[in-house]
């Protein structure tokens, strides 16, 4: 019985560690992509396969990237017309 309980606990801890590592990797990816966008890279898509909250955040960041890109293009076109 004790061996079963210990095995179950080890399994739970292992799954928790894998899950935490996956979440951490996704957060670091989002941080890097956000920094790229802040630095002007509006061409690189923010890609995710996740369907959880991190996936929603990724999609929101990518939508902001697209909107910023569109607005920048409109500003550039307006400046070209003004010149």
Over residues 62-74, the pLDDT tens digits come to 999 999 999 999 9
Burial (CB < 10 A; 0-12, 13-18, 19+), residue 26, is middle
pLDDT (tens digit, 9 = 90+) per residue, 4-23? 888 888 877 777 777 778 88
Give the pLDDT score at 64: 96
pLDDT (tens digit, 9 = 90+) per residue, 27-60? 999 999 999 999 999 999 999 999 999 999 999 9
Q: For residue 35, give the nearest of 46, 20, 21 by alpha carbon.
A: 46
Indicate the pTM of the whole model.
Answer: 0.73
């Amino acid at each position: 019985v004790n061996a079963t309980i210990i095995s179950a606990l080890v399994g739970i801890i292992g799954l928790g560690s894998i899950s935490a590592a996956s979440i951490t990797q996704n957060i670091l990816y989002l941080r890097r992509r956000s920094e790229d966008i802040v630095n002007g890279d509006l061409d690189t898509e923010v890609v995710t396969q996740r369907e959880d909250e991190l996936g929603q955040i990724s999609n929101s960041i990518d939508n902001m990237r697209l909107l910023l890109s569109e607005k920048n293009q409109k500003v550039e076109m307006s400046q070209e017309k003004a010149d």
